[in-house]
Structure 1
């Protein structure tokens, strides 16, 4: 069409003269339409002209006979529905629902045809007079005359509930028929479905599951009960999908969950020999997963499982960390902790959907019982020491890293991380100095993990130990480059020069070295102090090792790997066949406790007894005498004697370590107080305690008594002052 073309306006003119309608027109026309409606309900509509019928209905509305048409429709439909009601009432047994379904289908078809005929009335007369549209009218009349018929209503409900009961007890029912009947109820409106079926259905279901749960719980264990509950739950969900209204799913599952799970929750988890604790002990992943899946559906369900799991872990953990047998072997102690952690990690992962709240409960439980044992930091360090010295047989570097990650998890639970640091430093020192570590990579990997967890300050001294080891290698190369020719075939010396601040502080033990070694040590001292001015060297003979070539009585030769103390003792026998304990003590000046341990490892360890003792006994006495065991044999040429094994500390050593830890904490507490007061200027006593504890908790749990002492110390040194009016209030002195 050309846009420039002018638009034409059309107007429909009204009739100029009045149209006269036949007085009997309305009755005649309605008779035609009534006959058509009757034919439709009698299933005889094939001969009808729908175009002609539509025109007749159209004209009736046009000529203002809409009211007659509408009321005629109501009375005609009502008459037919009352007849249909009698047919349905007469149907016997299983035919009742089939007849109801068939008549409902026919009624819908009839309603569609009637609506097509009366479409004009439906579109104009019905809205203007606020009447019910034809289709909705048909549904309402069906509801009032059929569904709410006194002889059908109760019978229909009972039939539906009976069929559902039969299905619940194992019979097969006609899903298609049920679906159609339920669909009919929903089509009639939500209130019909809910009042005439859903509400009584839920009440009956509650009674059914109440009785069922009571019966099952008396004869089944927890796992079996949960299986049956899960099966019932799935059946109800399936029932909704097959023939009930989708909105009923939440309601029926809620009923089932309340009656079968919520009402028996505590009894189930505490069930003797089969409840939650038994499932946890026996790693019943499937049963636990089922319990989690069902309990999460009810209020407080997950917290019931979680709280009982946490209290069980705390109880078993408490037994583990206080078991005297477990405390005898630190490595076994930590292995048990790791196994326990792995066990519950697996359960949470495989059965509890990796639920963060369960993981948090596990963590807080472990933190609780690990810190019940004050030796946990020491034992965890001993475990690491054992693994990094001996390694894990047939295990890759990746697996070692996984093991270290697991240990780090235990480390996180420690409240006294600084105690762990003290022991770890001692054990690392022994590993580095004896050269007994599986790999530097593994050592450095753990230090990186510790740094990530606790920051640079925590690991700076540990890293300094590695630096010293590297520097010592360079120093020894320089020493032998300078003095190599004059040393000849005599003993060789390897020295590790350790920076005092980086390594664990060791008291300098007295020990008289053999003359030939003493001279060599002096040469090294002169060399080192000549190249490094202003330094002091003190020998830590208690931390060294030596390789000795030995020839026994019958000419058998061996190379013995021994500690420096053991070397000093053995070399005395170059000039004597038999020596008393007192003679050895006098010659070597090794501290008595160390000397006794040293002699025990040389004379009393089977297969390593290069010395013999008189009299033979397990302990070393002041009057004992020692001589070389000429009958010593070993299938190995190289024999390690008294391998340095990281053992638990004795009680006095433990007290000493604890004292050192407490001393190290004092400046950290003071620094925290000053930091806090510098930013806050004025603060009361309780708030200082709280903030200091919070700041230091990544390192250790600060003791409020010690914090108070540090505050007093800072007041004495004019860092803080008390408020003149309130003694519990402190001011920062800038």
Structure 2
């Protein structure tokens, strides 16, 4: 059997004045809290009273009473704050704000039940939020505080900008209070006016400072101001204000003065570049990077400067006199700007591309650049008094390759390099075989195997020549022991830049020996033709002069032929030497000049005495010749670089060599495409050949016509701008 026990029911009678009496108790408590007398209150009893008011349907009275009481109390707070003067104004405001927050915390504890039940049910503002809003409306936005607060804050910021020390902690608490009152309060009551006055401040400051400072000092000041504003935000402003205030500084101090700063006389970008002011350049890059089009302005100004100075360098008559000095200047210029771009411009790829474009522009203004680059390498790789260290040669090669990439006429460089390499090989004056091979590898990597095929052939010929000479002396060594020593370099005609038909009459001893080697070589290699190039050889002679002094003379083959004539004659005329040797006239005069007219190397005496060689001159051995060295090297007087006529001939040979390359490129393209219009043929041929040389549109047109005549191509019958490939294989 189940029983149900019901609670004892009785009617609870509430005193009609209960709510009023209870509220008076609570109101008194709230006032005590604001007056710092909370320690004598019983929060448990107060909580019970507030709970009962809500339970007995007096929540509305409790809430409205709270609002009314807090307004009254905040009015008193407002009066206290208004009464504060000078620096104590912010201190009083912050003290009252702290007190208000503590009071809200205590009131929230007392009215917790109302905050959790009555307020959500009636959609009223929670106690904490209510207290914040009342503070905003009754204190911060009071007529006597709002303007005063703004002016005080702005004055403090201005003071800090002009070097005064302010209480940043107090400022931080004040701005934090504004942010807690709502983002709109912070923005409207401080941020917007702050940005406006900052714009005016920096606008005026920039105008004044730029008038009395150079570019470097101005940039330092702009950087300092920017960093100060960033620090100011981190110390006592909202982090969202950073972008706004930095935009103001960037606009007023940088964007508005970029052109003037760049072109400032004696201190702008050009002066910084000339003086390698990495720190100032880096600062300019960093600051200009903050504003629209800032970096493009630096880049354009730098490009213009590099092109102008580069053009002056490559057209300077003094620099053009010395190829090695010319290339050295180019390398120094490149190193200088590479360092600037790396250290000052943050290794910016757009700046690197602009520099490469500028360098490519002016280095190709001088048609001598390919020749001079090859002469520079020849100077570094050739044995001489200023011998390059082995550890440094690889660095030199890498630097030259960087310049080589800028050349448009790489095939012209190849022509000169092959010529100079041949002279080094044949004279035995190359320093490092490994360095020569390394450069070939670098060129091959850069331009492909076709570019270096002939150069590699030269290396092969030098090796096979050594083998040939070893075989010759192994076969005839016993017969040749007491005679002169012959060393022959057997060169493949297609790989070496040698002039045909240049020879002379060798002395009888060497003539017989050379013919013996010819017989030996042709006996080993059937079907070949061997012709001697005496203009490319060297010789070591043992000479005894009238004073009994013995010397070893290192001379050219031509000079050897001349000197050995004096074994059988005391005096010879120019015409007699010419008839006996049959050396070409221009070479003969240079050889005699180097043997008779160069001080310290004058092993011959010339009559009459003069620096020039004439056809009626007479020559004899200089019995009084002396030298501190026992081994005397006598160089032929010859120009280091080509004459204008020689340059013209070299260029003509290069242009002739380009024609089959253009033909091959056209045929490759048309064979794969079958049909292609004129514009695209030009574009693709140019692209294919740009690694070797910059093609001329006119040259491509000529070769197109030639291929049409040779029936490799034909024009479309309906469209003359369209080409068709003809299959020439049946």
Please state which band the TM-score falls in when normalised by the shorter chain.
Answer: over 0.9
Alpha-carbon distance between aligned partners in 2 of 1:160 and 1:24, rounded to the nearest angstrom: 50
Q: Does 1:648 align with 2:641?
A: yes
Deviation, 1:60, is: 3.3
Q: Check whether the contact 2:393–2:435 (CA below 8 A) recurs between aligned residues.
A: yes
Please name the residue that 1:547 is paired with: 540
The correspondence of residues 167-178 of structure 1 with structure 2, limited to 5 A, is 167-178=160-171
Deviations along 1:195-216, one digit per CA (max 9) or x if unpaired, are 1111111111111111111111
Please name the residue that 1:560 is paired with: 553
Deviation, 1:35, is: 2.1
Q: Does 1:484 align with 2:477?
A: yes
Alpha-carbon distance between aligned partners in 2 of 1:395 and 1:619, rounded to the nearest angstrom: 35
Of 427, 433, 450 in structure 2, the residue corresponding to residue 440 of structure 1 is 433
Alpha-carbon distance between aligned partners in 1 of 2:118 and 2:663, rounded to the nearest angstrom: 91
Deviation, 1:389, is: 0.9
Please name the residue that 2:41 is paired with: 48
Alpha-carbon distance between aligned partners in 2 of 1:15 and 1:351, rounded to the nearest angstrom: 91
CA, structure 1 residues 175+471, in 2 after alignment: closer, same or farther (shift >3 Å)?
Answer: same
Of 648, 661, 678 in structure 2, the residue corresponding to residue 685 of structure 1 is 678
Of 222, 235, 242 in structure 2, the residue corresponding to residue 229 of structure 1 is 222
Please name the residue that 1:629 is paired with: 622
Q: Check whether the contact 1:425–1:462 (CA below 8 A) recurs between aligned residues.
A: yes
Please name the residue that 2:3 is paired with: none
Please name the residue that 2:463 is paired with: 470
The correspondence of residues 131-530 of structure 1 with structure 2, limited to 5 A, is 131-390=124-383, 396-530=389-523
Deviation, 1:733, is: 1.8
CA, structure 1 residues 509+163, in 2 after alignment: closer, same or farther (shift >3 Å)?
Answer: same
CA, structure 1 residues 20+724, in 2 after alignment: closer, same or farther (shift >3 Å)?
Answer: farther
Alpha-carbon distance between aligned partners in 1 of 2:563 and 2:544, rounded to the nearest angstrom: 12
CA, structure 1 residues 80+471, in 2 after alignment: closer, same or farther (shift >3 Å)?
Answer: same
Give the secondary-structure state (helix, strand or coil) at the position aligned to 1:404. Answer: helix
Deviation, 1:16, is: 7.9
Q: Check whether the contact 1:427–1:646 (CA below 8 A) recurs between aligned residues.
A: no
Q: Check whether the contact 1:611–1:627 (CA below 8 A) recurs between aligned residues.
A: yes
Q: Which moved more, 1:49-58 or 1:153-162?
A: 49-58
Alpha-carbon distance between aligned partners in 1 of 2:385 and 2:298, rounded to the nearest angstrom: 37
Gaps of 5+ in 1: 1-12
Deviation, 1:62, is: 3.7
Deviation, 1:547, is: 0.4
Alpha-carbon distance between aligned partners in 1 of 2:619 and 2:126, rounded to the nearest angstrom: 118
Deviation, 1:646, is: 7.7
Of 589, 596, 620 in structure 1, the residue corresponding to residue 613 of structure 2 is 620
Deviation, 1:22, is: 4.3
Deviations along 1:164-206, one digit per CA (max 9) or x if unpaired, are 1111111111111111111111111111111111111111111
Q: Does 1:81 align with 2:86?
A: no
Q: Check whether the contact 1:426–1:504 (CA below 8 A) recurs between aligned residues.
A: yes
Give the secondary-structure state (helix, strand or coil) at the position aligned to 1:683. Answer: strand
Alpha-carbon distance between aligned partners in 1 of 2:459 and 2:172, rounded to the nearest angstrom: 78
Alpha-carbon distance between aligned partners in 2 of 1:396 and 1:533, rounded to the nearest angstrom: 44
Alpha-carbon distance between aligned partners in 1 of 2:473 and 2:449, rounded to the nearest angstrom: 36
Give the secondary-structure state (helix, strand or coil) at the position aligned to 1:639. Answer: strand
Deviation, 1:343, is: 0.9
Of 668, 675, 698 in structure 1, the residue corresponding to residue 661 of structure 2 is 668
Alpha-carbon distance between aligned partners in 1 of 2:367 and 2:620, rounded to the nearest angstrom: 43
Alpha-carbon distance between aligned partners in 1 of 2:384 and 2:84, rounded to the nearest angstrom: 85
Give the secondary-structure state (helix, strand or coil) at the position aligned to 1:627. Answer: strand
Q: Which moved more, 1:644-653 or 1:526-535?
A: 644-653
Please name the residue that 1:712 is paired with: 705
Q: Check whether the contact 1:578–1:627 (CA below 8 A) recurs between aligned residues.
A: yes
Alpha-carbon distance between aligned partners in 2 of 1:713 and 1:100, rounded to the nearest angstrom: 95
CA, structure 1 residues 348+644, in 2 after alignment: closer, same or farther (shift >3 Å)?
Answer: farther
Q: Check whether the contact 1:509–1:541 (CA below 8 A) recurs between aligned residues.
A: yes
Deviations along 1:319-374, one digit per CA (max 9) or x if unpaired, are 00000111110000000000111111111122111111111111111100000001
Give the secondary-structure state (helix, strand or coil) at the position aligned to 1:573. Answer: helix
Deviation, 1:391, is: 7.3
Deviation, 1:488, is: 2.9
CA, structure 1 residues 114+622, in 2 after alignment: closer, same or farther (shift >3 Å)?
Answer: farther
CA, structure 1 residues 575+34, in 2 after alignment: closer, same or farther (shift >3 Å)?
Answer: same
Alpha-carbon distance between aligned partners in 1 of 2:392 and 2:49, rounded to the nearest angstrom: 90
Q: Does 1:67 align with 2:60?
A: yes
Of 579, 591, 608 in structure 1, the residue corresponding to residue 584 of structure 2 is 591
Q: Does 1:99 align with 2:92?
A: yes
Q: Check whether the contact 1:670–1:714 (CA below 8 A) recurs between aligned residues.
A: yes
CA, structure 1 residues 47+494, in 2 after alignment: closer, same or farther (shift >3 Å)?
Answer: same
Deviation, 1:522, is: 0.4
Give the secondary-structure state (helix, strand or coil) at the position aligned to 1:701. Answer: coil
Give the secondary-structure state (helix, strand or coil) at the position aligned to 1:480. Answer: helix
Alpha-carbon distance between aligned partners in 2 of 1:663 and 1:14, rounded to the nearest angstrom: 122
Give the secondary-structure state (helix, strand or coil) at the position aligned to 2:605. Answer: strand
Q: Check whether the contact 2:503–2:532 (CA below 8 A) recurs between aligned residues.
A: no
Alpha-carbon distance between aligned partners in 2 of 1:661 and 1:725, rounded to the nearest angstrom: 37
Question: What TM-score does the superposition give when structure 2 sets the normalisation length?
Answer: 0.96
Alpha-carbon distance between aligned partners in 1 of 2:415 and 2:481, rounded to the nearest angstrom: 42
Of 523, 533, 538 in structure 1, the residue corresponding to residue 526 of structure 2 is 533
The correspondence of residues 690-709 of structure 1 with structure 2, limited to 5 A, is 690-709=683-702
Alpha-carbon distance between aligned partners in 1 of 2:9 and 2:599, rounded to the nearest angstrom: 135
CA, structure 1 residues 21+599, in 2 after alignment: closer, same or farther (shift >3 Å)?
Answer: farther
Alpha-carbon distance between aligned partners in 1 of 2:135 and 2:75, rounded to the nearest angstrom: 9
Deviations along 1:510-556, one digit per CA (max 9) or x if unpaired, are 31111111100000000001111111111111111100111112221
Q: Check whether the contact 1:386–1:646 (CA below 8 A) recurs between aligned residues.
A: no
CA, structure 1 residues 74+28, in 2 after alignment: closer, same or farther (shift >3 Å)?
Answer: same
Q: Check whether the contact 1:392–1:400 (CA below 8 A) recurs between aligned residues.
A: no
Q: Check whether the contact 2:220–2:283 (CA below 8 A) recurs between aligned residues.
A: yes
Alpha-carbon distance between aligned partners in 2 of 1:626 and 1:120, rounded to the nearest angstrom: 130
Of 704, 716, 720 in structure 2, the residue corresponding to residue 723 of structure 1 is 716
Please name the residue that 1:8 is paired with: none
CA, structure 1 residues 60+503, in 2 after alignment: closer, same or farther (shift >3 Å)?
Answer: farther
CA, structure 1 residues 519+98, in 2 after alignment: closer, same or farther (shift >3 Å)?
Answer: same
Q: Check whether the contact 1:476–1:494 (CA below 8 A) recurs between aligned residues.
A: yes
Give the secondary-structure state (helix, strand or coil) at the position aligned to 2:436. Answer: helix
CA, structure 1 residues 405+63, in 2 after alignment: closer, same or farther (shift >3 Å)?
Answer: farther
Deviation, 1:20, is: 5.5
